[in-house]
Amino acid sequence: MLARLTTPHDRLRELGITLPPPPPPAASYVQTRLVPIRDGRALLYVAGQVSRAGDQLLTGRCPDEVSVEEAARRAQQCALNVLSQIESAVGLDKVEEVTQLIGFVLSADGFADQPTVMNGASDLFVEVFGPAGKHTRAAVGTNALPLSVTVEIAAVAVVRTG
């Protein structure tokens, strides 16, 4: 007898995670854009999701105002917001693979551990999607982010549309 494959929703339940409502866009843009590619598949682009929990913006520069560990938790919160946008746009079960994450970390001068911060997001995608959650990634340090949030992450995924 074959074991039943676990869905992304099952994995979220196993992790004790409830997705937040998808945050609305903060300006003149859309949160997601679906671009058909072939054979009932499309690229789903997800706009940058900032470190926000509900209505609370998670702000502060790493590592002098926010520890690396806390910044990684904030990156995970960004990832949850990305997942929420994917769920709203097409449904998590339609994801074939997460192809790319682009992460920005509000960084103090000389801070160079952005990859550790971004692991908070990357690890969650692998936990939720398994091997399909492995992705390419950029982890960029910057001296300013919108509203002084600690982390902002954009994503691209291949999804089924049929």
Question: How far from 32 is each of 17, 29, 97, 148, CA to CA, in Å?
Answer: 22, 9, 16, 23
Q: For residues 43 and 140, what is the distance between their CA atoms, to the nearest angstrom?
A: 23
Query: pTM of the predicted model, to two decimals?
Result: 0.95
CATH of 8-160, one of 3.30.70.270, 1.20.1730.10, 3.30.1330.40, 1.10.3720.10: 3.30.1330.40
Each residue's pLDDT tens digit in the chain (162 positions)? 444 468 999 999 999 999 999 999 989 999 999 999 989 999 999 999 999 998 899 999 999 999 999 999 999 999 999 999 999 999 999 999 999 999 999 999 999 999 999 999 999 999 999 999 999 999 999 999 999 999 999 999 999 997
Question: What does the chain come to in residues?
Answer: 162
